[in-house]
Amino acid sequence: MLDRVVIAFSWISAVIIVGAVCAIFGHIILNGAGTIKLSLIFGDVAPLDALLLKRQVLNGLFPAVIGTLLLILISVMWAVPLGLGTGIYLAEYAGAISKKIFNLFFDILAGIPSIVIGLFGFALAIFLHKNVSNNIGPCLLISSMALAFLVLPYIIRTTQVALEELPREMRLTALALGATRLQNIRHVLLPRALSGITTGVILAIGRCAEDTAVILLTGVVAMAGIPHSLMGSYEALPFYIYYISSQYTSPEELLTGYGASLILLVLCIGLFSAAFLIQKRLTYITLYRA
Amino acid sequence: MNPVSHENTKIRVTDLSFFYREREVLKKVNVGFAESKITALIGPSGAGKSTFLITLNRLWESIPEARMTGKVEIKFSGMYRDIYEKSFPLPTLRRRVGMVFQTPNPLPMSIYRNVAFPLKLAGEKDRKIISQKVEEALDRAYLWDEVKDRLNEDAINLSGGQQQRLCIARALVMEPEVLLLDEPTSSLDDSAGRVIEDLILSLKEKLTILVVSHYLEQVKRLADKSIRFSEGSVIN
């Protein structure tokens, strides 16, 4: 009897979650699909001119798309090497005590609300503005660093777990053949852990793509155009969605928010696929290339 | 009471004790192994045979919470060297003391790259030398004829016996002087096991071989001498 209840509960849970995901996607697609036109992205500017940065797009999502893409790439660029290094250290080098301390520290880091990290980024920008240079303010650089901080725990944890899960025999194989510790990590352990690590990178990409709280305080603005440098402010899709859904003046305008959501979704799917393909390619290169 | 210390002793083990956590796995083992002979390590499971093997290439040092006392000396180019000496580089030791495990453990890469792997670790770059050594090692391991046309295939596609011979080839490619075999046939069927036995016999001219085995028949066929372990001690 209890068995049946548990099974029924599991089934219902799965159905609820799948249903919720479908409902969200369906809602966005139903409302957003109609707004997806070239003009939503490029406004009155010819797409080619916009892509080649010949003319600025003033009434389209193009700057937000580019802003979000840049933001994700730069944040991940900070976070991946740092997170990988830390994860490798924790899994392969750290002693029992330092491991405990670091694990606690990174669990706390993972639990910090993004708005707090945003506030810290903001404070940092103000500090730099006052003490280093008047030209520094909330900008792409500060945002990407704050976001990297936000997603570091994902990458650290998945790297560490992926390495620690490898069976002991596999750890000893290369060592018994005369590999140094570093060679073992580089040639055997990391390639085997790559798919696990990619999960962390994908989580990080998703988090960077959606987070609004951090960038709200560290440099995103509604109308900035394409950022011309790391020190510039920028636009981003999640901020646009937030902004339009709280400030819309007509139902049509609200619908463009759905359009932006749809574009953000597609963007994420594209980046996830890219991360996945890179992982496949790297695994192949590190393990199979003759 | 070191039983063997003749001129042709290759490995000299003195007062070796081994602990895993608080358990004493090996108790004051004193034993010697003759050069170019096959010595079988026999005894019940859990008597410390496999642990003993990994004290000879220091592989246990990668296992957390393990501890060892005592002395292991191996004669390299006519001179006994304490392999636990600080100045003795681990990679060098493990190239001279090869090891093959109970379950075949080819790395997830091609047959060729598996055998070439130790050379790559040692920094060998010359492709000619590498391919020549790979062929030699595969040949010594009775595998060359079976794989010469499919060297770039994934090693996982080989049969169990072939995989184990591949692992032996991989251990041989650095031309070690000592070969440690931890129940090399126990995961294989009889005929595959027999091929490995023949292969081991063919190697002893140039190699000092230690083989852990549970099968008395196999010990009779292979070993010049056998050493019995019981509860962490060697019984003569």
Using CA atoms, how far apart are residues B148 and B70, in angstroms rounded to an integer?
45
Element (H, E) at B144: helix B144-147
Q: Judge: B121–A178 Cβ closer than 8 Å, yes or no.
A: yes
pLDDT-derived band at A50 (thresholds 50, 70, 90) equals: confident
Collapsed DSSP state (helix, strand, coil) of residue B223:
coil
Residue-wise pLDDT tens digits, B10-34 = 999 999 999 999 899 999 999 999 9
Give the pLDDT mean for A25-33: 93
Q: Which 8-state DSSP code applies to residue A51?
A: H
Q: Which residues contact A119 (CB under 8 A, 6 or more apart)?
A: A217
Share of chain A above pLDDT 70, in %: 99
Q: Which 8-state DSSP code applies to residue A285?
A: I
Share of chain A above pLDDT 90, in %: 72
**Which residues of chain A have a CB within 8 Å of the CB of B62?**
171-172, 175
Residue-wise pLDDT tens digits, B35-60 = 999 999 999 888 899 999 999 999 99
Residue B114 near residue A173, CB atoms below 8 Å: no
Q: Judge: A177–B59 Cβ closer than 8 Å, yes or no.
A: no
> Among residues 43-62 of chain B, which lie with CB inside 8 Å of chain A?
57, 59, 62
Nearest to A219 by CA among A42, A74, A49: A74
Nearest to B102 by CA among B60, B54, B145: B54
Q: Judge: A172–B122 Cβ closer than 8 Å, yes or no.
A: no
Q: Judge: A187–B110 Cβ closer than 8 Å, yes or no.
A: no
The yes-or-no verdict on residue B4 having pLDDT over 60 is: no
Give the distance from residue B20's alpha carbon to the nearest chain A alpha carbon, in angstroms. Answer: 16
Q: Which of B62, B112, B168, B179 to mutate to test the interface with A (most CBs of A within 10 A)?
A: B62
Does the pTM surpass 0.95? The reply is no
- How does the average pLDDT of chain A come out, rounded? 92
C-alpha distance from residue B44 to each of B48, B99, B212, B233 (Å): 9, 21, 11, 12
pLDDT-derived band at B1 (thresholds 50, 70, 90) equals: very low
Q: Which of A93, A171, A175, A177 to mutate to test the interface with B (most CBs of B within 10 A)?
A: A177
Give the distance from residue B95's alpha carbon to the nearest chain A alpha carbon, in angstroms. Answer: 5
Using CA atoms, how far apart are residues B59 and B82, in angstroms rounded to an integer?
15
Nearest to B183 by CA among B93, B49, B66: B49
Q: Which of B115, B117, B119, B174 to mutate to test the interface with A (most CBs of A within 10 A)?
A: B117
For the CA atoms of chain B, what is the radius of gyration? 17
Residue-wise pLDDT tens digits, A77-123 = 999 999 999 999 999 999 889 999 999 999 999 999 999 999 999 99
Residue ranges with strand state E in chain A: none
Which of A14-18, A205-209, A282-286, B13-17 bottoms out in mean pLDDT, i.e. has the lowest?
A282-286
Using CA atoms, how far apart are residues B46 and A200, in angstroms rounded to an integer?
40
Helix residue ranges per DSSP H, A185-230: 190-210, 213-218
By C-alpha distance, the chain A residue nearest B105 is A173
The yes-or-no verdict on residue B3 having pLDDT over 70 is: no
Nearest to B163 by CA among B217, B101, B221, B93: B101
The yes-or-no verdict on residue B140 having pLDDT over 90 is: yes
pLDDT-derived band at A52 (thresholds 50, 70, 90) equals: confident
By C-alpha distance, the chain B residue nearest A284 is B109
Output the six-digit token pair for B83.
């392999």
Residue B89 near residue A155, CB atoms below 8 Å: no
The yes-or-no verdict on residue A288 having pLDDT over 80 is: no
Using CA atoms, how far apart are residues A82 and A138, in angstroms rounded to an integer?
23
C-alpha distance from residue A50 to each of A35, A270, A271, B41 (Å): 19, 21, 22, 76
Q: Where are the domains of chain A?
A: 36-288
Q: Which 8-state DSSP code applies to residue B185?
A: T
Residue A171 near residue A189, CB atoms below 8 Å: yes
Q: Judge: A169–B91 Cβ closer than 8 Å, yes or no.
A: no
Please state which CATH number belongs to domain A36-288.
1.10.3720.10
Residue B107 near chain A (CB below 8 Å): yes
Residue B154 near chain A (CB below 8 Å): yes
Give the distance from residue A107's alpha carbon to the nearest chain B alpha carbon, in angstroms. Answer: 24
pLDDT recorded at residue B187: 86
Residue B212 phi/psi, 5° resolution? -85, 130
Element (H, E) at B164: helix B160-172
Q: Which residues contact A29 (CB under 8 A, 6 or more apart)?
A: A262
Residue B84 near residue B71, CB atoms below 8 Å: yes
Using CA atoms, how far apart are residues A76 and A149, in angstroms rounded to an integer?
10
